[in-house]
Chain A
Amino acid sequence: MSTTASFFAPRIGATGEPVKLAMQRLWLGGRVAPVGARLTVQHVFRSEEKQPIEVIYAFPLPREAALRAFRITGAGFEVDSELRPMEEAVRRYEEGIAQGSLAAMARNYGDGLVNLTVGNVRPGETVTVYLDIMAGAEPRDDGFRFRFPFTLAPSYHSLMRAATVDGEGELELPSDRFGDVILPRWRADASGLHEVGFDLSLLNPAPVDEIGSPSHSIRVKDGGARVMLAPARDVPDRDLVLDVKFKDTRPQVIAGPVGDGKRAFAAIVPSTSFGERKTAPRRIAFLLDRSGSMDGAPIQQARQAILACLALLTPEDYFTVVAFDDAVELMEDRLAAGDRGHRDKAAKFLRKVDARGGTELARGFLAAARMLEGGGDVFLLTDGQVFGTEDILAKARSAGVRISCLGIGAASQDRFLTLLGRETGGISRFVTPRERVDLAAVDLFASVGSPVASGLKAGQDVQPAPVQQVFPGTPVLVFGVTGCDSVDIEWDGGRTSLPIPDGDAETGATVRLLQGARLITDWESRYPAEAATGALEARKRNRVAARLVELSSTYGLASSEMALVAVVKRAGDRPGELPETRVVPVGVPQDMAFGSVFGAPGAPVQAALAAPLGRRRTPPSTGGRPLMPTVVPSAAKAPGGGLPAPPKPIDGLMDLAAQLEPDGGMPGRDDSARAKATAEAVLKFVEAGHTVTSGAFRTHVGRLVAFLKALTGLRAKDQELVDRAIHAAAGLQP
């Protein structure tokens, strides 16, 4: 096929030989806005084999995402999918396969996993599936982050089985709990796999200051209205991560007509619109994921980040540190005051925490919740690589504590950690291993604790209900459909009214679909725990299923209860022909060692259960247990070049932050020495761009400055230095 030789013919990097790929290309297009994205993902399937094939591509949904529709095209045909109840969709698909027709189905499973299955692709035939997906973004006060998964993280479940076959990794989940979902095979080297890329338009309702990507080399065009992959193609071994930063911070409302004289709207209200935070003593449990997948830079950074966060505690605060893998280890069996002695004890405890074992996340936060006795914050640092997330979420909801999550990983568990934060009243961020995990942790911690506003309420036109509490740095996002000209939001002690623009029909339809995707994601996470079998749980399951059918029907979006299906009758279809199954492989996420999950590439078949896990880091063998991935710094140059290497885990600022005394000053032998050390610390933070109002260390700077302002009776020379530091910290305020 000359037309596809350069475009659709990947080659093995080492040998240059062409690779027979059932899926040859995955290309992301669409429009991205701070409130979410309307995406079209192009999948190109081709059979180079001598018999028809059935191709299965497994992928994770982004955060707050739902499948809208797909169009399947090929030589002489173009057919749109239909949304059908799950059983009917499966039946139609199977009837199509039995008739020898081309059939395709996109089906949701638990954990936000999707199987896109295309059956009866004939020898030599090229079939393209354009899949429309509605997806959320991570709004921030000053911009937003958008993530899209190009691969799937091999995750942990206590009943998971792992194996290495022909040098590729396989994971299998028990069908009685996870249904007939088929997971991909993982390859250590993604260079021979299907090509991926993106070309996205950005809808920015505010002037853009900066567009960047910590994951890919990008090209920005049309003044920030378009972002595309800079190289011609890339490999499926990591998420796309796009960061958009606005020039200013202000409420944004986008809207459009949806019929009956109503408009669908999405409003983002920055946390700064809700006023100042009131300081109150904290009760906080630092929860550190020490599973094998955190090995290397992430756990070093996470440890150091917790030390820096501890420096923000005062003797009035109470805290603990909990480390978990498949076992839980506590710093102490009760909360400790945030004084110097307990901070030193925490540091000593953290130094002994290394990476090992599996990710029994629920055990970790339940232990933390017991320490907090139902009141307080859990500050979780994890890669979130777990299966069975609905079960974990159910336990988290009943734990009675706020969980704020910092996710770390090249392949997204963004959907799960977003839900874990939101459903417990906390907040979440997700960073790649090539970003500063420690800085992100400090930044997130500065937002956790006392909210800037509580008791949020919005009109009945708003769905889902707004979050109850607002934290610094994280805006409030609400969706609704209304006949009014404004959206009103009230909270304890304040209210705001935002005008709703007229907008256009396309924007209105998109906003309404994003609202539907958000509602479906929320309800999908509410299935009863996987082990629940009682009558009450059965009723709850039926209620959730009924609500999902209703939402899918109302918004025209797929869910765990309704799937997308299409059957294409072609001339010469041969009924009863049995297609060969081909599962599309993906790359092990960047910076993760293949051997830590599956054993050495190229090794003979090895298999093992995944739990319980021990300390071993050697490849698994039959009967062995330790199968969780390890994150290691990679020396490999990223495709396209220009991407930063993994950051150094520790620098001077982090050390400096960790030294803050409970009164906010730096240590020293007397007041004069402390004043000098504190002023110098402020100047170092300011020099690196951190002030009292901006930067990850803003809370540290604020406490240092407050300490300096409280000092009296200093010598003239010391006072001059102190004044300079205070001025610098304030003078750089935006």
Chain B
Amino acid sequence: MTLSELVEASGVPARTIRFYISRGLMSGPLKAGRGAEYTPAHLERLERIKSLQAEGRTLSEMAPLLEPAAAATETASVAWRHYALGDDVVIQVRADLSPWRTRQIRAAIDEFARRIQTSGQGPEEE
């Protein structure tokens, strides 16, 4: 689901969701950029935060309580980009990185590809 769909489903404003992500209370969307995607796990996490708030917990108090669930969510749902540099080399890069980090890694892959490939072709993304 999109951020606006997550907002509608949870009743939590978008700015607050970004605030929670920045504080590490929930993971970011599955993909960066236009296709940013949120899952039912994000919705569940927001409901859990609301529930803990209703119990009187502060955000800083609930962070350690939420951490295991956050890690599990990331492992289960994170998307990866595959760069096949040849029959014998495949590189995987997380798809939800920020654009500057994606550019940095892409440049490194290009450099790596040039070194290992004799045909002079760049890497192909699957």
Interface positions of B from 1 to 45, Cβ below 8 Å from A? 3-4, 12-16, 18-19, 21-23, 28-29, 32-36
B56: Cβ under 8 A from any A Cβ: yes
B34:A576 contact, CB within 8 angstroms? yes
B51: Cβ under 8 A from any A Cβ: no
A577:B32 contact, CB within 8 angstroms? yes
B105: Cβ under 8 A from any A Cβ: no
B34:A607 contact, CB within 8 angstroms? no
A578: Cβ under 8 A from any B Cβ: yes
Measured CA separation A589–B58 after assembly (Å) = 23
Q: Which residues of A contact B3 (CB under 8 A)?
A: 94, 98
Give 29 pairs: A residue, B residue, CB < 8 Å, sorted on A. A51-B100, A54-B15, A54-B18, A94-B4, A123-B100, A161-B56, A161-B57, A163-B58, A163-B59, A163-B60, A165-B60, A170-B59, A175-B16, A175-B53, A180-B13, A180-B15, A182-B19, A575-B34, A576-B32, A576-B36, A578-B29, A578-B32, A578-B36, A580-B22, A581-B15, A607-B60, A607-B61, A609-B56, A622-B61
Measured CA separation A98–B16 after assembly (Å) = 15
Residue of B19, B23, B33 touching A577 (CB-CB under 8 A): B33
Q: Which residues of B contact A605 (CB under 8 A)?
A: 60-61
Contact A576 to B98, CB < 8 A, known contacts A161-B56, A163-B61, A172-B59: no
Measured CA separation A609–B53 after assembly (Å) = 11
Measured CA separation A51–B98 after assembly (Å) = 8
Q: Which residues of A contact B99 (CB under 8 A)?
A: 574, 577
CB-nearest residue of chain B relative to A581? B22
What 0/1 readout, one digit per residue, does chain A (597-608) give for beta carbons within 8 Å of chain B?
Answer: 000000001010
Q: Which residues of B contact A163 (CB under 8 A)?
A: 58-61
A97: Cβ under 8 A from any B Cβ: yes
Measured CA separation A161–B18 after assembly (Å) = 21
B35:A576 contact, CB within 8 angstroms? yes
Measured CA separation A583–B57 after assembly (Å) = 20
Measured CA separation A51–B99 after assembly (Å) = 9
Task: State the Cβ distance, A154 to closest chain B Cβ, in Å.
Answer: 14
Residue of B14, B23, B57, B100 touching A97 (CB-CB under 8 A): B14
B13:A174 contact, CB within 8 angstroms? no
B21:A90 contact, CB within 8 angstroms? no
A630: Cβ under 8 A from any B Cβ: no
A607:B53 contact, CB within 8 angstroms? no
Contact A170 to B60, CB < 8 A, known contacts A94-B4, A577-B32, A581-B18: yes
Measured CA separation A165–B64 after assembly (Å) = 13
Measured CA separation A609–B61 after assembly (Å) = 12
Q: Which residues of A contact B53 (CB under 8 A)?
A: 172, 174-175
CB-nearest residue of chain B relative to A577? B99
CB-nearest residue of chain B relative to A115? B15
A residues in contact (CB < 8 Å) with B: 50-51, 54, 56, 90, 94, 97-98, 117, 123, 161-163, 165, 170, 172, 174-175, 180, 182, 574-583, 605, 607, 609, 622
Measured CA separation A582–B28 after assembly (Å) = 16
Q: Which residues of A contact B4 (CB under 8 A)?
A: 94
Task: State the Cβ distance, B12 to closest chain A Cβ, in Å.
Answer: 8
Contact A574 to B22, CB < 8 A, known contacts A90-B13, A163-B61: no
Residue of B21, B33, B57, B60 touching A574 (CB-CB under 8 A): B33
Measured CA separation A51–B100 after assembly (Å) = 8
| Extra contacts besides A175-B53, A576-B34, A578-B28 (16): CB < 8 Å | A51-B98, A56-B15, A56-B19, A94-B3, A94-B15, A163-B59, A165-B60, A170-B60, A180-B12, A574-B33, A575-B33, A576-B36, A577-B32, A577-B98, A581-B18, A581-B23
Measured CA separation A580–B98 after assembly (Å) = 11
| Complex A-B, nearest 5 residue pairs according to Cβ-Cβ distance, in ascending order | A581-B22, A576-B33, A607-B58, A163-B58, A576-B34
Task: State the Cβ distance, B3 to closest chain A Cβ, in Å.
Answer: 7
Q: Which residues of B contact A574 (CB under 8 A)?
A: 33, 99
Measured CA separation A567–B99 after assembly (Å) = 21
A579:B56 contact, CB within 8 angstroms? no
CB-nearest residue of chain B relative to A580? B22
Q: Which residues of B contact A578 (CB under 8 A)?
A: 18, 21, 28-29, 32, 36, 98
Measured CA separation A94–B13 after assembly (Å) = 10
Most buried by A among B15, B19, B32, B99: B15
Task: State the Cβ distance, B123 to closest chain A Cβ, in Å.
Answer: 22
What 0/1 readout, one digit per residue, does chain B (76-92) give for beta carbons within 8 Å of chain A?
Answer: 00000000000000000
Most buried by A among B13, B34, B60: B60
Q: Which residues of A contact B36 (CB under 8 A)?
A: 576, 578
Task: State the Cβ distance, B52 to closest chain A Cβ, in Å.
Answer: 11
Q: Which residues of B contact A583 (CB under 8 A)?
A: 19
A170:B58 contact, CB within 8 angstroms? yes
Q: Which residues of A contact B14 (CB under 8 A)?
A: 94, 97
CB-nearest residue of chain B relative to A174? B53
B56:A50 contact, CB within 8 angstroms? no
Measured CA separation A162–B57 after assembly (Å) = 9
CB-nearest residue of chain B relative to A164? B60
Q: Which residues of B contact A56 (CB under 8 A)?
A: 15, 19
Contact A581 to B19, CB < 8 A, known contacts A51-B100, A163-B60, A574-B99: yes
Measured CA separation A287–B9 after assembly (Å) = 47
Task: State the Cβ distance, B23 to closest chain A Cβ, in Å.
Answer: 8
A117:B15 contact, CB within 8 angstroms? yes
Contact A161 to B58, CB < 8 A, known contacts A576-B33, A578-B36: yes
Task: State the Cβ distance, A251 to closest chain B Cβ, in Å.
Answer: 48
Task: State the Cβ distance, B67 to closest chain A Cβ, in Å.
Answer: 13
B58:A172 contact, CB within 8 angstroms? yes
Measured CA separation A54–B14 after assembly (Å) = 12
CB-nearest residue of chain A relative to B18? A581
Task: State the Cβ distance, A163 to closest chain B Cβ, in Å.
Answer: 4
CB-nearest residue of chain A relative to B64? A605
CB-nearest residue of chain B relative to A97? B14
Task: State the Cβ distance, B70 to closest chain A Cβ, in Å.
Answer: 16
Task: State the Cβ distance, B46 to closest chain A Cβ, in Å.
Answer: 12
Task: State the Cβ distance, A596 to closest chain B Cβ, in Å.
Answer: 18
Q: Which residues of A contact B18 (CB under 8 A)?
A: 54, 578-579, 581
CB-nearest residue of chain A relative to B20? A581
Q: Which residues of A contact B16 (CB under 8 A)?
A: 175, 180, 182
Measured CA separation A577–B3 after assembly (Å) = 12
CB-nearest residue of chain B relative to A610? B56
Contact A50 to B100, CB < 8 A, known contacts A175-B53, A576-B36, A578-B28: yes
Most buried by B among A117, A123, A161, A182: A161
Measured CA separation A576–B32 after assembly (Å) = 7
CB-nearest residue of chain B relative to A179? B13
Q: Which residues of A contact B58 (CB under 8 A)?
A: 161-163, 170, 172, 607
Measured CA separation A607–B13 after assembly (Å) = 24
Most buried by A among B23, B34, B58: B58
CB-nearest residue of chain A relative to B31? A576
Measured CA separation A581–B22 after assembly (Å) = 6
Measured CA separation A609–B15 after assembly (Å) = 25
Task: State the Cβ distance, B84 to closest chain A Cβ, in Å.
Answer: 26
Measured CA separation A580–B22 after assembly (Å) = 5
Q: Which residues of A contact B61 (CB under 8 A)?
A: 163, 605, 607, 622
Q: Which residues of A contact B35 (CB under 8 A)?
A: 576
Task: State the Cβ distance, B76 to closest chain A Cβ, in Å.
Answer: 20
